[in-house]
């Protein structure tokens, strides 16, 4: 298997993110999306994990299944909340035994349900240390261009992120909509002596109804972008909004590629069309 740290050392990467399906309908959609996007030859793909035994199994099955049924390089997400240290060690060993070498180490929100609890580890940096102790992983962490919602201020946020990233191999950002947010984040890390690769997360906004959800997920859509999407809706309806959202995301990618960005990471929401269109507009798609 290929380690993401090694891929980043060789040059720019292009990656996609999925979430494990909850039912047969979602499974069918995801299988089609994987086949569509596999043809684009991504550097790697990541699979999210919300916590709890059921979600953990879905993530594990999807990640390990990719090793045997596709040519994709998978990265498994893992959160430390609501798990004991022993449980996390067992999960990590199971991944290594299955041949998985790439891990996204996250703090995570406590899952709802019968297994609620804070767990023994409270921060992603502790999970990074545990993965290092197990050995064999290329470890990524999350970064928030607009600061983590629990951070008291920007300086504290950047200090914690720099300390976390110094122990990991790379970071992937939460999605954002203006290139200055990314370049500001990287500059803040550089000022703290951290130059590990930070992959920008790209999420196209393809409907007006998704705008409030973006804010709830931690990245508010800027007013200039809302105006463009509303203008598109007024002139052509939902399909025009979708096209405009893809165009805006493509413009952001072009701006990022004009800098020293180490790659692009696309949040697909288990759909392939928007990502494929952006890929094609950027000239990244294989003939």
Residue showing tokens 């995301």: 249
Q: How confident is the model at residue 57 (pLDDT cuts 50, 70, 90)?
A: confident
Is 118 within a domain?
A: yes
What pLDDT digit, counting tens, does each position of 202-252 carry? 999 999 999 999 988 878 999 999 999 999 999 999 999 999 999 999 999
Task: Cite the active site residues.
Answer: 17
Identify the residue with better confidence: 52 or 154: 154
Is 287 within a domain?
A: no
pLDDT over 70 percentage in the chain: 94
Is 286 within a domain?
A: no
Distance CA 138, CA 169 (A): 6
Is 73 within a domain?
A: yes
Is 24 within a domain?
A: yes
Domains contained in the chain, number: 1
CATH number, residue 79: 3.20.20.220
C-beta of residue 208 within 8 angstroms of C-beta of residue 230: yes
Count Cα atoms within 13 angstroms, Cβ side, for 225: 24
Range of the domain at 102: 4-281
Classify residue 283 by burial, with Cβ atoms within 10 Å: 0-12, 13-18, 19+. exposed
When computed from its CA atoms, the radius of gyration of the chain, rounded to whole angstroms, is: 18
Residue showing tokens 């790659």: 263
Distance CA 20, CA 176 (A): 23
Task: Reply yes or no on whether the pLDDT at 120 is more than 70.
Answer: yes
Cα-based torsion angle of the residue sequence 74, 80, 86, 88 in order, rounded to the nearest 10 degrees: -10
Q: Which of 46, 60, 127, 131 is nearest to 98 (CA)?
A: 60
Task: Reply yes or no on whether the pLDDT at 19 is more than 70.
Answer: yes
Q: Which uninterrupted H or E stretch holds 138?
A: strand 138-143
Is 188 within a domain?
A: yes
In order of 69, 105, 198, 220, the CA distances from 63 in angstroms are 10, 15, 23, 31
Is 164 within a domain?
A: yes
Is 142 within a domain?
A: yes
């Amino acid at each position: 298997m290929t380690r993401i740290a090694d891929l980043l050392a060789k040059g720019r990467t292009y990656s996609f993110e999925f979430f494990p399906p909850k039912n047969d309908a979602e499974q069918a959609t995801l299988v089609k999306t994987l086949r569509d996007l596999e043809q684009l030859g991504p550097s790697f793909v990541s699979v999210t994990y919300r916590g709890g035994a059921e979600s953990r199994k879905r993530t594990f099955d999807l990640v390990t299944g990719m090793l045997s049924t596709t040519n994709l390089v998978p990265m498994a997400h893992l959160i430390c909340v609501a798990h004991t240290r022993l449980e996390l060690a067992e999960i990590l060993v199971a991944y290594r035994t299955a041949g998985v070498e790439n891990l996204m180490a996250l703090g995570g929100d406590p899952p709802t349900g019968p297994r609620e609890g804070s767990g023994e580890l409270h921060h992603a940096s502790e999970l990074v240390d545990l993965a290092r102790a197990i050995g064999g992983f290329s470890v990524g962490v999350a970064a928030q261009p607009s600061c983590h919602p629990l951070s008291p201020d920007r300086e504290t946020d950047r200090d914690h992120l720099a300390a976390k990233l110094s122990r990991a191999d790379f970071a992937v950002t939460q999605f954002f909509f203006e290139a200055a947010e990314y370049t500001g984040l990287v500059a803040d890390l550089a000022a703290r002596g951290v130059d590990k690769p930070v992959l920008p997360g790209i999420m196209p906004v393809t409907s007006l109804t998704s705008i409030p959800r973006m804010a709830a997920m931690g990245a508010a859509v800027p007013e200039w972008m809302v105006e463009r999407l509303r203008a598109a809706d007024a002139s052509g309806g939902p399909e025009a909004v979708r096209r405009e959202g893809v165009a805006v995301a493509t413009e952001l990618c072009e701006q990022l590629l004009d800098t020293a960005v180490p790659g692009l990471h696309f949040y697909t929401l288990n759909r392939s069309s928007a990502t494929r269109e952006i890929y094609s507009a950027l000239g990244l798609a294989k003939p």
